[in-house]
């Protein structure tokens, strides 16, 4: 079965492609390798996927391309149809990520997350994929005060453009499910971290700065709470959802009245104080951080906390890796990756 994964050179995309290859899916990976962060890291992820698939006789077809380019997207679906490898599932992870950068460069978000998203869901509908899965975000909960966040909560108060684009994705997906019976699944990820992670996120940034004897900026004077979610738990959740979707395909298609539209929180359901997260990094690096405390950043939220009952009901799996285990694995990857790339 052919699956198109967009954002395949990204942090989550890389791990997901690897898992899908291990499970013997034919994976088409699309990414524009943009320069939002270190392009060498993105290229290294693609190289790992290419090496892994060729070593194990698996099919990974990487395409450097842009979801904003409508004709290029259409061509990918068409080419696969013609060569008898019809794309049956799309997992759209390509996006302009990051809350803070959306204040600096709003158009990057409108392009990738709105125009690009619309292109990819439209062609998924035109080429009649069985399932369309896409990355949403915990940021859609915006300024909500009620914790934990539940999928049924109102999410009409985004506090960043990034959040607004992710909420828009959910609305667009709802329309496609309603009008065209396109089965869609939105995944609200909660602060994902782990090996091959993103250089613009706290764990990567703090590790780099602490190792280089530089100070770290800690916003809202450290009074922040995040539901840090380990990458392997995220990938296992997506994989189990995919398995279930494939199994239930017939039920979906035959359901006349129920909209084939779903949203899941994917979080650890264990909110952690930022200060404790930093302590765990210091412990694993065996080095103290030089901390500069700052005000709350515009667009940021004070706390995130996922209710994962829906996910557990659906797949009988609950993300549960502790930050101590997850941070240790990230740091050992970080040290070996940068040792290798400096040789
Ligand atoms: N990592 C998290 O904590 C987190 C939390 C919530 C939501 N998400 C969402 O999950 C998805 C994956 O996140 P990630 O952490 O792996 O981010 P990432 O930035 O590492 O991956 C996104 C990838 O998409 C690619 N991309 C961006 N615009 C593109 C375009 N127009 N065409 C083709 N490729 C494009 C980038 O080059 C990048 O490799 C994103 O949609 C993100 O918004 C992530």
* Residue ID of nearest Cα to ligand 1 atom 2: 192
Specify the CATH class of 2-196+230-268+305-321 in words: alpha beta
The atom number, within ligand 1, closest to the CA of 34 reads: 37
Q: Is the pTM of this model over 0.95?
A: yes
Q: Is the confidence at residue 143, as pLDDT, over 90?
A: no
Distance CA 169, CA 184 (A): 11
- For the chain, the residue count is 343
Among 226, 215, 207, 216, smallest CA distance to 334 is for 207
H helices present in 230-308, as ranges: 231-247, 249-254, 274-285
How many whole angstroms separate alpha carbon 52 and alpha carbon 11?
Answer: 16
Residue with the smallest CA separation from ligand 1 atom 38 is: 10
Reply yes or no on whether the pLDDT at 257 is more than 50.
no
Q: Round to whole Å and give the CA distance between 167 and 265.
A: 13
* pLDDT at 185 > cutoff 80: yes
Percent of the chain scored above 70 by pLDDT? 96
What are the backbone angles phi and psi of residue 340, rounded to the nearest 5°? -65, -45
Omega before 148 within 30 of 0, i.e. cis = yes
Ramachandran angles phi, psi of 321, nearest 5° = -70, 130
Q: Where are the domains of the chain?
A: 2-196+230-268+305-321
Neighbours of 67 (CB within 10 A): 26
CB neighbours of residue 47 within 10 Å: 12
pLDDT for 282 equals 98
Give residue 258's pLDDT. 53
Confidence of residue 340 (pLDDT cuts 50, 70, 90): confident
pLDDT in tens, 50-68: 999 999 999 999 999 999 9
pLDDT digits (tens, 9 = 90+) for 192-235: 999 999 999 999 999 999 999 999 999 999 999 999 999 999 99
Measured in angstroms, how far is the CA atom of residue 320 from the centroid of ligand 1?
Answer: 23
Kindly report the three-state secondary structure assignment for every residue of 155-190: CCCCCCHHHHHHHHHHHHHHHHHHHHCCCEEEEEEC
Determine the distance separating the centroid of ligand 1 and the alpha carbon of 7, expressed in angstroms.
Answer: 6
Pocket around ligand 1 at a 6 A CB cut-off? 6-7, 9-13, 30-34, 42, 66-68, 93-97, 112, 116, 135, 137, 189, 191-192, 198
pLDDT tens-digit series, residues 94-137:
999 999 899 999 999 999 999 999 999 999 999 999 999 999 99
Q: Three-class SS of residue 82?
A: helix
Alpha-carbon distance values, 308 to 148, 220, 274, 311, 317 (Å): 9, 27, 21, 5, 9
Residue 255 pLDDT level (bands cut at 50, 70, 90)? low
- In the chain, where does DSSP find H-type helix? 11-22, 39-55, 70-82, 101-104, 106-109, 117-126, 161-180, 202-211, 231-247, 249-254, 274-285, 309-315, 323-342
pLDDT band, very low/low/confident/very high, at 259 (cuts 50, 70, 90): low
Distance 164 CA to ligand 1 centre (A): 16
Token code pair at residue 132: 């369309």
Q: Which active-site residues does the annotation give?
A: 162
């Amino acid at each position: 079965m052919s699956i198109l994964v967009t954002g395949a050179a990204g942090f989550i995309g890389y791990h997901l492609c690897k898992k899908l290859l291990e499970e013997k899916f034919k994976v088409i990976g699309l990414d524009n390798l943009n320069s939002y962060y270190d392009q060498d890291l993105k290229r290294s992820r693609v190289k790992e996927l290419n090496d892994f698939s060729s070593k194990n006789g698996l099919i990974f077809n990487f395409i450097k391309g842009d979801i904003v380019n409508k004709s290029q997207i259409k061509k990918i679906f068409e080419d696969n149809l013609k060569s008898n490898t019809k794309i049956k599932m799309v997992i759209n992870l390509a996006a302009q990520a990051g809350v803070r950068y959306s204040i600096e460069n709003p158009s990057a978000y409108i392009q990738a997350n709105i125009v690009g998203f619309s292109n990819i869901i439209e062609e998924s509908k035109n080429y009649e994929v069985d399932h369309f899965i896409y990355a949403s975000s915990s940021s859609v909960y915006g300024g909500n005060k009620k914790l934990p966040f539940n999928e049924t909560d109102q999410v009409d108060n985004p506090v960043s453009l990034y959040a607004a684009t992710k909420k828009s994705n959910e609305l667009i997906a709802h329309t496609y499910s309603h009008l065209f019976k396109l089965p869609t699944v939105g995944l609200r990820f909660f602060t994902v971290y782990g090996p091959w992670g993103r250089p613009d996120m706290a764990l990567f940034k703090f590790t780099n700065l602490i190792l280089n004897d530089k100070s770290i900026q800690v916003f809202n004077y450290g009074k922040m709470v995040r539901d840090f979610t380990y990458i392997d738990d995220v990938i296992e959740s997506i994989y189990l959802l995919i398995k279930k979707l494939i199994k239930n395909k017939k039920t979906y298609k035959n359901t006349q009245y129920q909209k084939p539209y779903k949203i899941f929180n994917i979080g650890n359901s264990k909110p952690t104080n930022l200060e404790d997260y930093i302590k765990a990094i210091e412990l694993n690096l065996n080095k103290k951080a030089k901390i500069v405390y700052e005000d709350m950043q515009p667009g940021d939220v004070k706390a995130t906390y996922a209710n994962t009952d829906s996910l557990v009901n659906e797949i009988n799996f609950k993300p549960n890796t502790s930050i101590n285990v997850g941070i240790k694995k990230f740091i050992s990857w970080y040290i070996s990756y940068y040792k290798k790339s400096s040789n």
